[in-house]
Amino acid sequence: GHTMLVLAVVRDWCDGALDTAQKSAHEQRIVEYADYYVAAQGLDVFHDDMQNVWSAVALAGLALAGTAQDAKAQSYLTAADQQWKQVIFPAMAHEGDWWHEGFVYVQPVLGSLAWYALAWTTATDEDIFAWAESNAKDLFNGYIAFHAYALRPDSHYVYFGDTATPKQSVELFSRYLIDIFTTGTGSPMPWCSPRTW
């Protein structure tokens, strides 16, 4: 998923600096990854790989839309939209504003969710944050509250699930996740507690 994020950003931000051959090679690499991801059916929806794979498929579609690979892009966009709305969001809404595997997995799950939601909302006419508020138990605001609730006074998170000390620190991923969720929801909650960050 991280590789696709990097590929998508390069294709989007560096477009003017790439010549035709470089663009073609870059697009082909995105297609190779995305085709592999789409073929990876049967993933456990309650494991972080599901969000990782399908945020990557969505990013591939967004990055390739309007290019020579537009037909592939449209198929990726359709597949990702269906998977997120019909499978992943319902599973996350079922879990509620937490993730059962513990903080080793909470951050990758929510990182993939954040990349998908912000990229999709920015690149299309659909606000995924508003969609989730109405259709998925307001997950984004729920996850902001979850991070605030689970943060201990020593700036580490509570221990539950499959957890290891190096993954418990607020320093790793939390700030950018909460920033993205706050960008999408407009929530003032992270700034309510002076110890949150």
Instruction: Give residue-wise pLDDT tens across range 88-147.
Output: 999 999 998 888 888 888 888 898 899 899 999 999 989 999 999 999 999 999 999 998
Per-residue model confidence (pLDDT) at position 170: 77
pTM score = 0.86
SS3 call for 169: strand
Q: Are 61 and 74 in contact (CB under 8 A)?
A: yes
**Per-residue buried b or exposed e for 66-92, using 16+ beta carbons within 10 Å of the residue's own CB:** ebebeebbebbbebbbebbeeebbeeb
Residues whose CB falls within 8 Å of the CB of residue 19, separated by 6 or more in sequence, listed in order: none
185 closest CA partner among 149, 137, 143, 141: 141
Among 37, 26, 36, smallest CA distance to 69 is for 26
The tens digit of pLDDT for each residue in 83-97 reads 999 999 999 999 988
